[in-house]
């Protein structure tokens, strides 16, 4: 697994309030906004922050936990090129002492992904996102994914 992060997802209790804070309050640029579901903002060269409902994040991971309990509703993510890369990264994580939380599988939003936790419980998503692109200046764009 490569040593990089492209996406940090915050599971927030109030998506509208989080959007108001980051986008309207701080003026961070929106990459993609799906009202009531998710907002992506540019936070660095090739790096995005995803604001996602806390319970929706737990539901997506499939752990059955409540966002009010540990672990904190946050994930780090790597975007990879192929479904095989997703499986390979999760295998690498297991060999290194991690735990698969969600095995590699098609994602509801049209990509392909899986989740693992490192030994301290920090959660990672590894995903193929056909709409993800990074321009030479580091700006992220997220187009429509099939599905």
Q: Which domains does the chain have, with CATH numbers?
A: 7-142 (3.10.180.10)
Q: Is 64 left (phi over 0), alpha (psi -120 to 50) or beta?
A: left
Q: Which two three-digit tokens encode residue 62?
A: 């499939």
Q: What digits encode the pLDDT tens for the residues 39-97?
A: 999 988 999 999 998 889 888 988 777 766 666 778 889 999 999 999 999 999 998 88
Read off φ and ψ for residue 139, nearest 5 degrees: -70, 130
147 falls in which pLDDT band (50, 70, 90)?
very low
């Amino acid at each position: 697994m490569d040593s990089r992060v492209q996406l940090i997802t915050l599971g927030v209790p109030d998506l509208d309030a989080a959007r108001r804070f980051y986008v309207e309050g701080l003026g961070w640029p929106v990459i993609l906004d799906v009202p009531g579901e998710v907002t992506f903002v540019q936070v660095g060269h090739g790096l995005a922050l995803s604001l996602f409902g806390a319970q929706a994040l737990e539901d997506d991971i499939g752990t059955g936990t409540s966002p009010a309990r540990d672990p904190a509703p946050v994930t780090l993510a790597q975007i990879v090129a192929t479904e095989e890369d997703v499986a390979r990264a999760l295998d690498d994580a297991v060999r290194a002492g991690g735990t698969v939380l969600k095995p590699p599988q098609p994602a509801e939003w049209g990509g392909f992904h899986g989740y693992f936790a490192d030994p301290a419980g920090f959660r990672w998503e590894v995903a193929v996102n056909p709409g993800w692109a990074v321009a030479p200046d580091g700006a992220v764009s997220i187009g429509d994914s099939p599905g």
